[in-house]
Amino acid sequence: MPGAGEVLHDGFDHGGRVKSAAASKRVAYLDALKAVAIYFVVVIHVVGFKVASFDNGVSWFVAHFFSMMARFAVPVFVMCSGAVLLGRAAETGEDVLWFYKRYLVRYVGYLFLGLLVSKALSLYLGIDVLSLKGIVYEFNAGFGAGMWFFFMLMGLVLVAPLLQCIVRNRFLTKLFLALWFVFCIVNPLFSGTLGLYRVYIENALYGSFFVGYFVLGYFLATMDRQLSARALASCAFLGLMLATVAGYAMSLWHGKLHEYFYYSNNPFVFVYTVSMFLLFKNVFAGKEAGGVLRTLSSVSGYIYVFHISVISLVPIGYSQNILVLFFIRVPAIVFISVVISLLYMRFLPLIERFVLLPVQRMVQVAVGRLYGKLESAVQPYWMAFKAWMFC
């Protein structure tokens, strides 16, 4: 394996180190992936109301295609995070605690900011009352529903030290991914969607299908073999078209929107996502990321936090015409969200000093105390167990 210490970036704007390929290549394609992915996350939310109203018309099919075209975005974010976070070795209790403080606290910060912004938007629009509801609990309702993404990432960070042990062994990594693919990607299609049999076991294995994308991101990032860009583009197009046709056919069959092929745990979106990841890795090999891609990548987490509010408050490009939505409204929403994110980052030192740092210290102290209490509580029982077992 190539030398250690190359700087990469995780799913958002934080650095990391991965024992793998050259840093310039890594930074370039991960930045490009994150920039494109956050753009298409906005696409999903802008055209969502058109997709939800299934009417079997041309306008709906075009909206459906644009939404399908964006379905690689969320799993690619997870893969980018896995490409970095699983390259860090957290072997001791101190390592794990440091790892949690560095990454878990930051994702908690994104989550808290997102829920706070969602609550403020609800108050401004007069659909909520001034209370902690929506910030501390019932976050899955209203504008805060999109913050599930950060909860998912926090869960992946929690299990990352365990997954780091697996990815050090290439065979175990392949076994893990093979089992994940069978149970979490293939099984839901044949069991739940096509109804060929009734065995709902996809979540009995790993709990969430995103953990497979998390490991897969590291596996593909550290893979030395370079595939043909033409072949990868063809596979991406094939996966996209199969997902589009299958989603349309299932909706037509049921007479209403059928959402299975919009999710990331189906074989067609899987092929599309993996092909896009490898295609970007291929195209940006040996290149330095810069300009617009670098900027979008650096603020991608904040774009995710702010874009829902921008969609709700800014009428630019709002239309029933899907082409207007895609070519005018989406770029406008992204541009405004980027501007707000950059302004937020400019004033972030003041915000951190008076708002975020006190919250971060509280979380860090709470995590440290919890770890200490768990260690002191478990240690006597562990020592007694070892004495009983081995004496």
pLDDT band at 270 (very low <50, low <70, confident <90, very high): very high
**Model pLDDT, residue 209:** 81
Out of 198-207, 268-277, 324-333, which region has the weakest mean confidence (pLDDT)? 198-207
Do 205 and 336 reside in the same domain of the chain?
A: yes
Name the residue among 134, 107, 130 with its Cα closest to residue 118: 134
d(CA 157, CA 210): 12
d(CA 29, CA 31): 5
Is 1 part of any domain?
no
Do 309 and 251 reside in the same domain of the chain?
A: yes
Name the residue among 209, 219, 211 with its Cα closest to residue 274: 219
**Model pLDDT, residue 148:** 87
Q: Which has more pLDDT, 141 or 41?
A: 41
Name the residue among 350, 301, 344 with its Cα closest to residue 111: 301
Q: For the residues 203-227, what does the mean pLDDT come to? A: 82
For 371, counting Cβ atoms within 10 Å of its Cβ (0-12 exposed, 13-18 middle, 19+ buried), the class is middle
Do 324 and 385 reside in the same domain of the chain?
A: no
Q: For the residues 283-289, what does the mean pLDDT come to? A: 80
Do 255 and 127 reside in the same domain of the chain?
A: yes
pLDDT digits (tens, 9 = 90+) for 238-265: 999 999 999 999 999 989 999 999 999 8
Q: Quick check: 215 and 176 in contact, CB under 8 A? A: yes
For 370, counting Cβ atoms within 10 Å of its Cβ (0-12 exposed, 13-18 middle, 19+ buried), the class is exposed
Helix, strand, coil percentages for the chain (3-state, nearest 5): 75, 5, 25
**Model pLDDT, residue 124:** 87
Q: What separation in angstroms does the CA of 276 have from each of 33, 64, 176, 250, 363? A: 8, 19, 22, 25, 37
Out of 25-34, 149-158, 319-328, which region has the weakest mean confidence (pLDDT)? 25-34
Q: Which has more pLDDT, 87 or 79?
A: 79
Is residue 118's pLDDT more than 90? no
Is residue 171's pLDDT more than 80? yes
* Domain residue limits at 355: 347-391
d(CA 293, CA 22): 19
The C-alpha R_g of the chain, in whole angstroms, comes to: 22
**Model pLDDT, residue 17:** 39
- What is the four-CA torsion angle of 148, 154, 156, 161, rounded to 10 degrees? 180
Name the residue among 117, 121, 134, 254 with its Cα closest to residue 195: 254
Instruction: Please report the sign of the dihedral spanned by the C-alpha atoms of residue 319, residue 323, residue 324, residue 328.
Output: positive
Q: Which has more pLDDT, 267 or 140?
A: 267
**Model pLDDT, residue 18:** 40
Q: Which has more pLDDT, 380 or 279?
A: 279
Is 222 part of any domain?
yes
Do 68 and 170 reside in the same domain of the chain?
A: yes
Is 116 part of any domain?
yes
d(CA 29, CA 287): 8
Q: What percent of the chain has pLDDT over 90?
A: 47
Do 128 and 253 reside in the same domain of the chain?
A: yes
Q: Tell me the backbone φ, ψ of residue 7, rounded to 5 degrees.
A: -85, 130
d(CA 291, CA 331): 17
Do 85 and 151 reside in the same domain of the chain?
A: yes
Out of 146-155, 284-293, 298-307, which region has the weakest mean confidence (pLDDT)? 284-293
What's the number of domains the chain is made of? 2
**Model pLDDT, residue 374:** 81
**Model pLDDT, residue 5:** 35
The angle, 0 to 180 degrees and rounded to 10, between the axes of the packed helices 330-346 and 291-298 is: 70
Is 208 part of any domain?
yes
Is 185 part of any domain?
yes
Is 141 part of any domain?
yes
**Model pLDDT, residue 122:** 84
pLDDT digits (tens, 9 = 90+) for 297-341: 889 999 999 999 999 999 998 999 999 999 999 999 999 999 999
Residue type present at position 113 = L
Do 120 and 229 reside in the same domain of the chain?
A: yes
pLDDT band at 125 (very low <50, low <70, confident <90, very high): confident
How would you classify the pairing of strands 6-9 and 15-18? antiparallel
Do 172 and 311 reside in the same domain of the chain?
A: yes
Please state, as a whole number, how many other Cβ atoms lie within 10 Å of the Cβ of residue 250.
17
Contacts of residue 152, defined as CB under 8 A and 6 or more positions apart, other chains included, come to: 78, 208, 210
Q: For the residues 94-105, what does the mean pLDDT come to? A: 89
Q: What separation in angstroms does the CA of 107 have from each of 151, 155, 289, 357? A: 8, 10, 24, 14
Q: For the residues 30-36, what does the mean pLDDT come to? A: 93
pLDDT band at 19 (very low <50, low <70, confident <90, very high): very low
**Model pLDDT, residue 199:** 57
Do 316 and 380 reside in the same domain of the chain?
A: no
**Model pLDDT, residue 390:** 66
Name the residue among 340, 386, 366 with its Cα closest to residue 97: 366
pLDDT digits (tens, 9 = 90+) for 375-384: 788 878 777 7
Do 250 and 367 reside in the same domain of the chain?
A: no
Calculate the average pLDDT of the chain: 83
Is 40 part of any domain?
yes
pTM of the model: 0.82
Q: Quick check: 279 and 27 in contact, CB under 8 A? A: no
**Model pLDDT, residue 2:** 33
Out of 52-56, 102-106, 317-321, 384-388, which region has the weakest mean confidence (pLDDT)? 384-388
d(CA 110, CA 180): 28
Q: For the residues 94-98, what does the mean pLDDT come to? A: 88
Do 213 and 340 reside in the same domain of the chain?
A: yes
d(CA 129, CA 189): 42
Is 357 part of any domain?
yes
